[in-house]
Amino acid sequence: MAKITLVDDDENIVTSVSLALESHGHTVKAYYDGASGLAALENDPPDVAILDVKMPRMDGMEVLRRLRRTSDMPVIILTSKDEEIDEILGFNLGADDYMHKPFSQRLLIERVKAVLRRAGRGETDGAEGPPMAPADVAARAVKRGKLTLDPARHESLWDGKSVKLTVTEFLLLQSLAQRPGFVKSRDNLMDAAYDDQVYVDDRTIDSHIKRMRKKFREVDPEFDAIETLYGVGYRYRES
């Protein structure tokens, strides 16, 4: 099914989560500190990474920060329920999802399935569709002014310069850019980037948008294509 790397210093969590994921056909590699986890993620990238926040040698946020320099792999953050700052920081650093401890194993399985689907690596229920024709792939590409989005390659360009987006960021931008000038509410954007069974609040979308803008402004300080309409949502402005 999928290769999953789990990094958590709690042996009970590692054991129970590994068993739950493996029972659904996934392959799990576990590491008990951030430094060894980061090395494994870089040397043998999985389909999904699950990172605890508080770990010895290197915490999960630092692992995520370093990982995002070179990789857009889906990342789920595990955080204590009373530490809201962790989830805010996690989204700002590029996490795709988060879960509060203690959590339901069943819910974690659903979150993993959701990020796999968003990354195009999800289940097909045993049936594979026909291969997509080149014309269909091209039709999915989006070009709006200086922006080019190519879902087939998970490639985002601004004025010919590459902007590395996470899977969730890419889906949010794709949703906005498909209809420039039209306002997308946060609920609309949640539907575009998350499955129905995965709940996220408004702050999650805002954090993703904030990080996305920062990435584009690193290649173009004048970037202003994503507009905020306070109390309403966001829209893409094609220059």
List pLDDT tens digits, range 107-139.
888 889 888 887 775 544 333 333 333 334 334
Q: Which domains does the chain have, with CATH numbers?
A: 3-118 (3.40.50.2300), 134-236 (1.10.10.10)
What is the rounded end-to-end Cα distance, in angstroms, of the chain?
42
- pLDDT confidence of residue 27: 94
Query: What is the percentage of the chain residues whose pLDDT exceeds 70?
Result: 83
Task: Answer whether 3's CB lies under 8 Å from 47's CB.
Answer: yes
Token pair 């990080």 in the structure block, residue: 211
- pLDDT given at position 189: 84
Helix spans in 68-179 (H): 84-93, 105-118, 134-140, 167-177
pLDDT digits (tens, 9 = 90+) for 41-83: 999 999 999 999 889 889 988 999 999 888 888 999 888 755 5
Which residue has better confidence, 21 or 101?
21
Please tell me the pTM assigned to this model.
0.59
**pLDDT at residue 185 in the model:** 87
pLDDT in tens, 164-212: 888 788 888 988 998 888 888 888 887 777 655 455 566 778 888 888 9
- pLDDT of 199: 54
How sure is the predictor about 222, in pLDDT bands with cuts at 50, 70 and 90? very high
Contact 175, 188 (CB under 8 A): yes
